[in-house]
Amino acid sequence: MGLFSKKPKTEEAAASHDVTLGDGQTYTVVQTVDCIGDSCPRPQLMTKKAVGQIDVGQVIEVQVDNPSSMEALPPLCDEMAATHLETVKDARCWKVYIRKD
């Protein structure tokens, strides 16, 4: 059991996948961070950890269902040397796409 969560989390998806965002560009997501059911500050901490593990130019997808966490991630990108590409509303969560600069 984690400090900020009642259930164990898997931080990465088994395989990367491609996503086409609103700008028409297709990006390869190298890691998916599952923060569904988590509240602040866990999504921010998990996002910082994931960005620290990827290479420059790579993209992560953060899945959150907490509105305040979703709103907190884009401003966090500046301090992580990353770029918020887009936030997409899915049926069960928001998917926040972040590229490491």
- Buried b or exposed e, range 68-79, using 16+ CB within 10 angstroms: ebbebbbebbee
pTM, 2 dp: 0.86
pLDDT score for 9: 47
pLDDT score for 47: 98
* 101 contacts: CB under 8 Å, gap ≥ 6: 56, 81, 82, 83
Tens digit of pLDDT for each residue in 8-64? Answer: 444 444 479 999 999 999 999 999 999 999 999 999 999 999 999 999 999 999 999
pLDDT surpasses 50 at 68 = yes
Which CATH number is correct for 17-100, 1.10.510.10, 3.40.190.10, 3.30.110.40, 3.20.20.60? 3.30.110.40
pLDDT, average across residues 57-80: 97
CA 50 – CA 60 distance, rounded (Å): 8
The amino acid at residue 50 is: A
End-to-end CA distance of the chain: 32
